[in-house]
Chains A and B, each alone.
Chain A
Amino acid sequence: MDFTLKIWRQKNAKAKGKFVTYKVTGISESSSFLEMLDVFNDQLVTKGEDPVVFDHDCREGICGTCSLYINGRPHGPDDAVTTCQLHMRKFKDGDTIVIEPWRSKAFPVIRDLMVDRQAFDKIIQAGGFISVNTGGIPDANAILIPKADADSSMDAAACIGCGACVAACKNASAMLFVAAKVSHLALLPQGKAEASRRVQAMVAKMDELGFGSCTNTGACEAECPKQISIDNIARMNREFLGAKMGSQKKKVVAGGF
């Protein structure tokens, strides 16, 4: 298969970027999208040009490293996959493919298609955890968790932190990412003890880092490679509201733990 590629090229964070058009030839339809880029890059290197920089690692859809806006959709035209799981058989021979990095103020471009997603780590560091040290833990079966709760928690915990939700959102909101973590922990009895300050701290950090607001368009859910449901956002809003009301009474200060 042969393709025309329109790729966003940007030398570094400060440089001005632009689209550059290339041809790539001899691609197998069973190749993954990233394997197509590998072949293309080897062709560039052989010609002495700088290869296109893109983030990728596990290539089996779980590490959340790969990104890319492909023909206007995060992770490309297939549903419920990451870019590394997208195969060229989803395209037609001769297609023109437009490839861009994630677009969000909170994810600045580092080079070409590679962006900086440290903001997600910072949100987790603000409270996306259960405060226990190592050791001295009671037996795992001492806590009974109804199967339905464990399953719902797992549904939310399946988030891979790729950022497609932010990239898909016209407001560049990180609500689905944050809501997935809040829900994952709030649904478990172990996570309830500090649920209130967790949600407040994470939301405060999210706002501080320049992510936009949620206007319930559902674009995040539609493009999430792990099909994380926006029900989680509703749950987070309830948690947040409850926490805020509770905190006025108890004067719990968010953060600082």
Chain B
Amino acid sequence: MTKLNSKIPQGPVATKWSSYKDHIALVNPANKRKLDIIVVGTGLAGASAAASLGALGFKVKAFCYQDSPRRAHSIAAQGGINASKNYQNDGDSVYRLFYDTIKGGDYRAREGNVYRLAEVSGAIIDQSVALGVPFAREYGGLLDNRSFGGAQVSRTFYARGQTGQQLLLGAYSAMARQVSLGNVESFIRHEMLDVVLVDGRARGIIARNLVTGEIERHSAHAVVLATGGYGNVFFLSTNAMGSNATALWKAYKKGAFFGNPCFTQIHPTCIPVHGDFQSKLTLMSESLRNDGRIWVPKRKEDVEALRHNKIKPKDIAEENRDYYLERRYPAFGNLVPRDVASRAAKERCDAGFGVGETGLAVYLDFADSIKRLGRNVIEERYGNLFQMYQKIVDENPYENPMMIYPAVHYTMGGLWVDYDLMSTVPGLFVAGEANFSDHGANRLGASALMQGLADGYFVLPYTMQNYLADQINVPRFKTDLPEFEEAEKQVKSRLQKLFDVKGSKPVDHFHRQLGKIMWEYVGMARNKEGLQKAITMIRELRAEFWKDVKITGETNEVNPELEKAGRVADFMELGELMAMDALNREESCGGHFREEYQTPEGEALRNDEDFMYVAAWEYKGDDKEPALNKETLEYEAIEVKQRNYK
């Protein structure tokens, strides 16, 4: 077993980052120009990293599969971004944001990293405002805040329901400026298909030009993966259609360990599934829980009457409604963290109180807030979300409560990284949702944007400089090295292998099947028997895929079926690793809920004695079991407790 070294700096948690910065090695401006960095992915983490590294003077190549860096899926984040500014004078501080994040993550995140995240959170807001992000303001001209789940302070900054869009456009514009200055080169419609190692260090990538189909080699002194999460392993999720795990999976196969793959976030407030041909799920921002109240009927006869359209939700009297979050968690009410809210919705629906055609939905009701604040206030706060809901569901949420149900939204797991955000492959850095992250077993709302930008704006510019300081005499890499040749050969042969199957079923068929297995057995509630079954089923599905998938067209042209096939092939392998990790973790924590391990009240029951560690999986070969490495988590600044939102 490899010893994992997280390289957490010595000293008290509050001074670790400043003392780290004081002692790192630096690269002088003339030398920065001689060093190349590849950044894969241009979401919040990738775009902010490319912009910041470019501004320092490094030569950056930024890759995205989209037709513009501005379209990465960070753009879809709605509700907000946390920062411990304490502008509201309500008791916030760096420590409290740190504490809430560790607690929210159910004590499965690293203290040192999370403290640093909280520490730089304020600077992210400053930076974004300077770049022109039009955050919501009070009449006095100061910044406005709202509340999000898992916190008792208002620390969330927002730009209507489009916070992710505005933050990404800020980072994208900073990157565009570096493009104009010649420090960043932007490669659009390119998909990374392998990472290239030379003498054990990451020195480049193999990418497919999605327009010409050409396989390209790109070299650099270091590589950053900022390729997002892998929620699409479930087929239906709130991720974009193109979001995929291929870059992470290729890196895993080249020696980067995969951390906590089973930690998946199921978001409680999404528009419910409507039919077999649905391609994705749409999130309704957590911010709605500021003013919306979640409920289901108390009586089964009302559930029946609703299903047969005999009554409307507003016909149900107050005393016959079960505001189950307010009932079970009076201290946090509708603003409990996402994992808790999702499980509570599932519990009510499983007990037969769900509403809607399928019985898999609960109400999110704004009637009280509209009465209290007026429709115009609600419209100003959430207008675009209400419009989105109405377009999809064809119901007016100002008149009738929204119907919502949990859906896959985010993955806390990802490639294992040390304090420098470097994976177990030297020179391969991982940022944003792609790394195994600062969110432990459950991420708090409005913290993904914070982490992506923290990594890109304020962490990588220091830690990568530290890594590159002894590389200044390493000349630019040629891409005719045998390592590049070999990697390109592998990539090409795999693409050919996909074509050669010449089966009968389209790629989507397999993706849907995989999604069903994952949602049923590796979703909101998991158990030993189900997880073992999932592993067997995924293996069978994979065998079928390689016998019966059908891909039309050629490799040397635009070919979305080929793109999807490669991604789904990787998802099927990752799905199995997720099930193995969930099977190994014989406890419930955060979003990982093993039915065998719960308190009498149905809350997650952790086992700190045996499982207070990061599970870092090591690839050992296609036909071999991966090896489990453990990074023990140590808590010095925070006392470990059972999470309590009551």
Residue numbers of A with Cβ under 8 A of B are 11-12, 27-28, 30-32, 34-35, 38-39, 41-42, 44-46, 48-51, 53, 55-65, 78, 80-81, 85, 87, 89, 110-111, 114, 116-118, 120-121, 124-135, 137-141, 143-147, 150-151, 153-154, 157-158, 160-161, 184-185, 188, 190-191, 257
**Min C-beta distance of A90 to chain B, whole Å:** 10
0/1 interface trace, chain B 260-280, chain A, CB 8 Å (1 if under): 000000000000001101111
Asked whether A81 lies within 8 Å of B391 as measured between CB atoms, the reply is yes
Residue numbers of B with Cβ under 8 A of A are 48, 51-52, 55, 66-71, 73, 75-76, 85, 87, 122-123, 125-132, 134-143, 159-160, 162, 164-166, 169, 172-174, 176-177, 179-180, 186, 188, 211, 238, 240-242, 274-275, 277-280, 282-283, 387-388, 391-392, 394, 457-458, 461, 504-506, 508-509, 550, 552-553, 557-558, 560-561
Asked whether B387 lies within 8 Å of A134 as measured between CB atoms, the reply is no
Asked whether B553 lies within 8 Å of A161 as measured between CB atoms, the reply is no
Asked whether B275 lies within 8 Å of A65 as measured between CB atoms, the reply is no
Question: Which residue of A53, A63, A137, A138 contacts B71 across the interface (Cβ within 8 Å)?
Answer: A63
* Smallest Cβ-Cβ distance to B172: which chain A residue: A124
Distance A89 CA – B173 CA, assembled complex (angstroms): 38
Asked whether B387 lies within 8 Å of A80 as measured between CB atoms, the reply is yes
Distance A125 CA – B51 CA, assembled complex (angstroms): 12
**Min C-beta distance of A151 to chain B, whole Å:** 8
Contact residues of A: prevailing secondary structure? loop
Assuming the contacts A12-B557, A62-B76, A111-B557, asked whether A125 and B179 have C-beta atoms less than 8 A apart, the reply is: yes
Q: Which residues of A contact B392 (CB under 8 A)?
A: 32, 85, 87
Smallest CB-CB A-B distances: 3 pairs: A144-B141, A129-B173, A134-B52
Distance A190 CA – B126 CA, assembled complex (angstroms): 12
Asked whether B508 lies within 8 Å of A42 as measured between CB atoms, the reply is yes
Asked whether A133 lies within 8 Å of B55 as measured between CB atoms, the reply is yes
Q: Which residues of B contact A145 (CB under 8 A)?
A: 137, 141
Asked whether A191 lies within 8 Å of B282 as measured between CB atoms, the reply is no
Distance A58 CA – B87 CA, assembled complex (angstroms): 33
Asked whether A141 lies within 8 Å of B142 as measured between CB atoms, the reply is yes
Asked whether B76 lies within 8 Å of A60 as measured between CB atoms, the reply is yes
Assuming the contacts A35-B279, A51-B552, A150-B135, asked whether A134 and B557 have C-beta atoms less than 8 A apart, the reply is: no
Asked whether B76 lies within 8 Å of A63 as measured between CB atoms, the reply is yes
Question: Which residue of A30, A126, A138, A147 contacts B141 across the interface (Cβ within 8 Å)?
Answer: A147
Q: Which residues of B contact A124 (CB under 8 A)?
A: 70, 172-173, 176
Asked whether A128 lies within 8 Å of B391 as measured between CB atoms, the reply is no
Write 14 A-B pairs (CB below 8 A) sorted by A numbering.
Answer: A11-B557, A38-B277, A39-B277, A57-B242, A58-B76, A63-B240, A78-B391, A114-B558, A129-B131, A129-B132, A137-B130, A150-B136, A184-B134, A190-B129
Asked whether B71 lies within 8 Å of A45 as measured between CB atoms, the reply is no
Asked whether A144 lies within 8 Å of B134 as measured between CB atoms, the reply is no
Assuming the contacts A42-B506, A126-B180, A146-B141, asked whether A117 and B67 have C-beta atoms less than 8 A apart, the reply is: yes
* Smallest Cβ-Cβ distance to A34: which chain B residue: B279
Asked whether A64 lies within 8 Å of B132 as measured between CB atoms, the reply is no
Distance A179 CA – B169 CA, assembled complex (angstroms): 16
Distance A42 CA – B68 CA, assembled complex (angstroms): 27
* Smallest Cβ-Cβ distance to A67: which chain B residue: B67
Distance A45 CA – B172 CA, assembled complex (angstroms): 36
Distance A3 CA – B159 CA, assembled complex (angstroms): 40
Asked whether A132 lies within 8 Å of B131 as measured between CB atoms, the reply is yes
Asked whether A62 lies within 8 Å of B127 as measured between CB atoms, the reply is no
Question: Which residue of A35, A126, A150, A160 contacts B277 across the interface (Cβ within 8 Å)?
Answer: A35
Distance A35 CA – B476 CA, assembled complex (angstroms): 46
Question: Which residue of B70, B129, B240, B509 contacts A161 across the interface (Cβ within 8 Å)?
Answer: B70
Question: Which residue of A65, A110, A135 contacts B458 across the interface (Cβ within 8 Å)?
Answer: A135
Asked whether B138 lies within 8 Å of A147 as measured between CB atoms, the reply is yes
Asked whether A141 lies within 8 Å of B132 as measured between CB atoms, the reply is no
Asked whether A184 lies within 8 Å of B282 as measured between CB atoms, the reply is no
* Smallest Cβ-Cβ distance to A28: which chain B residue: B275
Distance A81 CA – B126 CA, assembled complex (angstroms): 33
Distance A188 CA – B141 CA, assembled complex (angstroms): 12
Asked whether A62 lies within 8 Å of B552 as measured between CB atoms, the reply is no
Distance A45 CA – B510 CA, assembled complex (angstroms): 14
**Min C-beta distance of B507 to chain A, whole Å:** 8
Asked whether B388 lies within 8 Å of A190 as measured between CB atoms, the reply is no
**Min C-beta distance of B159 to chain A, whole Å:** 6
* Smallest Cβ-Cβ distance to A143: which chain B residue: B129
**Min C-beta distance of A155 to chain B, whole Å:** 9
Q: Which residues of B contact A114 (CB under 8 A)?
A: 558
Question: Which residue of B67, B127, B169, B277 contacts A65 across the interface (Cβ within 8 Å)?
Answer: B67
Asked whether A49 lies within 8 Å of B279 as measured between CB atoms, the reply is no
Distance A85 CA – B390 CA, assembled complex (angstroms): 10
Question: Which residue of A30, A127, A132 contacts B274 across the interface (Cβ within 8 Å)?
Answer: A30
* Smallest Cβ-Cβ distance to B140: which chain A residue: A144
Q: Which residues of B contact A44 (CB under 8 A)?
A: 552
Distance A83 CA – B387 CA, assembled complex (angstroms): 15
Distance A88 CA – B410 CA, assembled complex (angstroms): 29
Assuming the contacts A50-B552, A184-B134, asked whether A134 and B241 have C-beta atoms less than 8 A apart, the reply is: no
Q: Which residues of B contact A190 (CB under 8 A)?
A: 129-132
Distance A153 CA – B137 CA, assembled complex (angstroms): 12
* Smallest Cβ-Cβ distance to B136: which chain A residue: A150
**Min C-beta distance of B320 to chain A, whole Å:** 29
Q: Which residues of A contact B561 (CB under 8 A)?
A: 45, 51
Query: Known pairs A45-B561, A46-B506, A124-B70. 6 more at Cβ < 8 A?
Result: A59-B282, A62-B165, A132-B174, A137-B126, A158-B162, A158-B165
Asked whether A141 lies within 8 Å of B136 as measured between CB atoms, the reply is no
Assuming the contacts A110-B558, A141-B87, asked whether A153 and B134 have C-beta atoms less than 8 A apart, the reply is: yes
Q: Which residues of A contact B240 (CB under 8 A)?
A: 57-59, 63
Asked whether B552 lies within 8 Å of A130 as measured between CB atoms, the reply is no
Distance A56 CA – B283 CA, assembled complex (angstroms): 18
* Smallest Cβ-Cβ distance to A45: which chain B residue: B506
Distance A27 CA – B394 CA, assembled complex (angstroms): 17
Distance A230 CA – B300 CA, assembled complex (angstroms): 53
Q: Which residues of B contact A60 (CB under 8 A)?
A: 76, 238, 280, 282-283, 388
Asked whether A134 lies within 8 Å of B127 as measured between CB atoms, the reply is yes
